């Protein structure tokens, strides 16, 4: 495992994002909707960098069921999303990879009737996007490596790491055989 972005760099960038988002949503009724589980740490840090009042909700989306690069069908659970009537939504995810997840989720959340839906991701992977989709806010561009930490997992492990690390091919292969 190799550290790609350390705790300090993440903290600085999330603070910058919070300032920009706070300015952009000034005087708007904002609800941040985090995509479980990967956005959990990002959500917790970003919300405390926002100087404007806002509500927090979550939804659940999962497509990576063990397999690393091949995403299965997307399972979406909207039951935990609070009432969005009269609200502007900022949909928050950990990483933009192919773009499939966020493109789908924006449509799903729009159907719940908010005033607007914008998106923020901490990471965007270069050269992987297959669905045309432009997030409104993003933290870092990263190369096409599998990353873990700061909420991101491999087989549900490593989410607790305070930094972002890339897994090398051997670690990915070991994980595929079951890391437990
Ligand atoms: P997309 O639909 O291909 O854009 O994938 C987005 C989702 O895939 C994210 O919410 C992550 O859960 C997962 N994902 C994509 N790349 C990585 C990675 O490098 N590490 C951990 N999870 C990833
Ligand atoms: Mg995820």
| Domains: count for the chain | 1
- Residue in this structure with the two tokens 């926002």, named with its chain if needed: 50
Summarize pLDDT for 34-86 with one digit per residue, the tens.
999 999 999 999 999 999 999 999 999 988 655 455 667 899 999 999 999 99
Summarize pLDDT for 134-177 with one digit per residue, the tens.
999 999 999 999 999 999 999 999 999 999 999 988 888 887 66
Of the listed ranges 7-21, 56-70, 85-99, 124-138, the one predicted with least confidence: 56-70
Q: Is residue 58 part of a domain?
A: yes
Q: Is residue 155 part of a domain?
A: no
Does residue 152 line the site of ligand 1, with CB under 6 A? yes
Q: Is residue 2 part of a domain?
A: no
Enumerate the active-site residues: 97
Q: Per-residue confidence at 180, pLDDT binned at 50, 70, 90?
A: very low
**pLDDT the model gives residue 121:** 98
Cβ-contact 64, 156 below 8 angstroms: no
Does residue 93 line the site of ligand 1, with CB under 6 A? yes
Is the per-residue pLDDT at 123 higher than 80? yes
**∠ CA(28), CA(110), CA(63), 5° rounding?**
120
Q: Is residue 165 part of a domain?
A: no
- How many other β-carbons are positioned within 10 Å of the β-carbon of residue 123? 22
Q: Is residue 30 part of a domain?
A: yes
Is the per-residue pLDDT at 179 higher than 50? no
User: Residue 90 sits in a domain of what CATH number?
Assistant: 3.40.50.2020
Q: Is residue 108 part of a domain?
A: yes
Distance 62 CA to ligand 2 centre (A): 6
Query: 62 is in which domain, residue-wise?
Result: 8-140
Does residue 45 line the site of ligand 1, with CB under 6 A? no
Q: Is residue 42 part of a domain?
A: yes
Of 94, 123, 156, 157, best ligand 1 pocket probe by most atoms within 8 Å of the beta carbon: 94
Distance 94 CA to ligand 2 centre (A): 6
Does residue 64 line the site of ligand 1, with CB under 6 A? yes
Q: What's the Cα-to-Cα distance from 27 to each of 32, 53, 162, 170, rounded to whole Å?
A: 15, 9, 33, 50
N-to-C CA span, the chain = 17
Q: Per-residue confidence at 89, pLDDT binned at 50, 70, 90?
A: very high
Q: Is residue 76 part of a domain?
A: yes
């Amino acid at each position: 495992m190799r550290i790609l972005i350390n705790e300090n760099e993440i903290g600085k960038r999330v603070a910058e994002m919070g300032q920009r988002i706070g300015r952009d949503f000034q005087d708007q009724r904002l609800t941040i909707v985090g995509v479980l589980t990967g956005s959990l740490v990002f959500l917790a840090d970003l919300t405390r960098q926002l100087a404007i009042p806002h509500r927090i909700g979550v939804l659940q989306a999962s497509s990576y069921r063990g397999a690393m690069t091949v995403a299965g069908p997307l399972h979406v659970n909207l039951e935990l999303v609070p009432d969005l009537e009269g609200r502007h939504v900022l949909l928050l995810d950990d990483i933009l990879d192919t773009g499939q997840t966020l493109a789908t989720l924006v449509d799903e959340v729009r159907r719940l009737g908010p005033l607007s839906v914008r998106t923020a991701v901490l990471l965007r992977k270069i050269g992987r996007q297959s669905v045309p989709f432009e997030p409104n806010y993003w933290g870092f561009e990263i190369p096409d490596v599998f990353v873990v930490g700061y909420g991101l997992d491999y087989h549900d492990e490593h989410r607790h790491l305070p930094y972002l690390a890339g897994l090398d091919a051997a670690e990915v292969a070991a994980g595929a055989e079951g890391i437990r």
